[in-house]
A and B are shown apart, each in its own frame.
Chain A
Amino acid sequence: DTGVSQDPRHKITKRGQNVTFRCDPISEHNRLYWYRQTLGQGPEFLTYFQNEAQLEKSRLLSDRFSAERPKGSFSTLEIQRTEQGDSAMYLCASSLVSTADTEAFFGQGTRLTVV
């Protein structure tokens, strides 16, 4: 396992369409985060999971956004009825929270363009 993997790397969609992104964390990591990054800004926290439980959601995560981590392994982030303002880089990160914590490792992100 070489790191956090995100798929697809790039997605272009028409306004109003639904999109789904996938994140595969480092295999033993129990915590998984989603962030969003727009041009010129730092990443903004969206949500995170501890195993399969979604423990925190940012106010940025509108009702058009939903994230899942059904078996505590990979996660999906779905955006329904996309808007142009959803155009951004969506980043996934994972970490191990236990007696020997690790820092967060990030994937390379999925760049979404809504046209």
Chain B
Amino acid sequence: DAKTTQPPSMDCAEGRAANLPCNHSTISGNEYVYWYRQIHSQGPQYIIHGLKNNETNEMASLIITEDRKSSTLILPHATLRDTAVYYCIVRLRKNTDKLIFGTGTRLQVFP
């Protein structure tokens, strides 16, 4: 599986958009980009995934560059409850492969 690079930490003001970047320059054509987050003392929680097109759900939006070498997770109106570690993961098979986590980005949302 391709590796990802994320900034170790980011801050965001409550109510503002949080834009979390991820580099995956060695991603192959059939690998998906997944995002999970882990709130303190809880298990990881699925957020969103995509292959080529931008995706949006009730939690977030995922913007994947045209060359697929990077992506951005957008939380449009961050709240204090969005404070968590966010993991960007690439995986070969949709939903069927094990997840290979890096160290993620620790997002701190402040009042």
Which residues of A are interface residues toward B (Cβ below 8 A)?
4, 31, 33, 35, 40-45, 48, 56, 91, 93, 95, 97, 101-109
Contacts and interface: CB of A to CB of B under 8 A. Distances in A.
Contacts of B96: 31, 95, 97, 101
Given A42-B87, A42-B102, A101 B94 contact: yes
Contacts of B54: none
Interface in B62-101: 85, 87, 94-96, 98-101
A43 B99 contact: yes
Contacts of A35: 99, 101
Interface of B: 34, 41-46, 49, 85, 87, 94-96, 98-104
27 contacts: A31-B96, A33-B99, A40-B103, A41-B103, A42-B87, A42-B101, A43-B44, A43-B99, A43-B101, A45-B98, A48-B98, A56-B98, A91-B43, A91-B44, A93-B99, A95-B95, A95-B96, A97-B96, A101-B94, A101-B96, A102-B95, A103-B46, A103-B49, A104-B99, A108-B43, A109-B42, A109-B43
A44 B94 CA distance: 19
B86 to A, nearest CB: 11
Contacts of B100: 45
